[in-house]
Amino acid sequence: MLLRPAGRRFIGETRSHILRAQTTSSFRLYTTPSEPSPSEKPEETPLFAKFRDAPSILGAKDPPVADKNTWLQRKKQKLRDFTDYEKAFAAHAAERRHLVEEATKSYFADVHEMRKHGGKMYYASNKLTKPEKAGYMPDFEGSNVNREKVHTTDMLLGKVSLMSFVYAKYGEPHVNSFVNPFLAKFKGVDGIQTVELNVQENILKQWLLKAFIPSIRRNLSDDRKDNYVLLFKDISKTRKMLDMTNQYIGYVFLVDEDCKIRWTAHGNGTDEEVANMLAMTDFLNQKRIKAMGTNDSKQ
């Protein structure tokens, strides 16, 4: 009688058990897949970052004043301010904070921010800011397409205005998505206007923009030439006051006859934002006309 070695039998049985286990596990894998628990499910990554709330109050606390002093007069005023130690200390402290913020900000920060939110950080409010809470639009000194010096405060007073800011070519479609329907409805309406600012803060690009002024003048329609302002100045401090944090985005502001900022939007305008803008403009103009009639009756 022949006997099989115990070790060989053990190996054969082990192989058969392994094969059966693999077959059984494979069968279970393909026929009855287990559902992952909610904690194990991968989170869906949004295409862009979440929107934040629209800013409620923008602008300056005090009414704007058009500074029409000459260069020499402004220098003398700076010297007088320098001798006022409290005023000079506050100005230097603000300047230091601004320089620290600019130094710690990456050169490509605006580009990274665009990738993050796609050019739209929030949806514009569907309500006007109350006049007693609204801030004032600061005065900007620039030049029109005829190279004449202009002040935006002189243009805004007494009228309801859609004021737009463009810092780069990428922001032009954003602004046009609001300006074009605005002009389509209110073109020729007394007391309603657009004020468009083309801002260039980079010194080298300022010379390029100045060279293209004749081309800009030719390409502008007649109803946009009078109130098109070229601004060759660094307004980064004022931009922060108006929540214009990204230079690749176009911004618009609805400003009443007292230079108060009543509404703002940015990026490509949605249908709802454009409809609200047109309705708010009509409301502000009717209120302006009513106030004028009341003042005339008192006189």
| CATH number of the domain encompassing residue 127 | 3.40.30.10
Tell me the C-alpha distance between 28 and 23, whole Å: 9
Residue 177 clears pLDDT 90, i.e. is over it: yes
Is the same domain home to 220 and 202? yes
Who wins on pLDDT, 35 or 119? 119
Name the percent of the chain lying above pLDDT 90.
46
Residue 97 lies in a domain: yes
274 and 155 part of one domain? yes
Q: What is the pLDDT of residue 34?
A: 53
Residue 74 sits in the same domain as residue 120: no
Domains contained in the chain, number = 2
Domain boundary among 51, 82, 104: 104
> What phi and psi values does residue 151 have, to the nearest 5 degrees?
-120, 130
In a domain, 57, yes or no: no
Same domain membership, residue 279 and residue 222: yes
Q: Do 89 and 225 lie in a common domain? A: no
Residue 55 is predicted with a pLDDT of 86
Helix and strand element counts for the chain (H, E): 11, 7
β-strand pairing of 141-143 with 149-151:
antiparallel
Q: Report whether pLDDT(39) > 60.
A: no
Which residues span the domain enclosing 207?
A: 111-294
Nearest to 255, CA basis, from 125, 138, 123, 120: 138
Name the DSSP letter for residue 268. S
* Encoded amino acid at 288, one letter: R
Joined tokens for residue 194: 């657009």
Residues 128 and 209 in one domain: yes
Assign 116 a pLDDT band (cuts: 50, 70, 90): confident
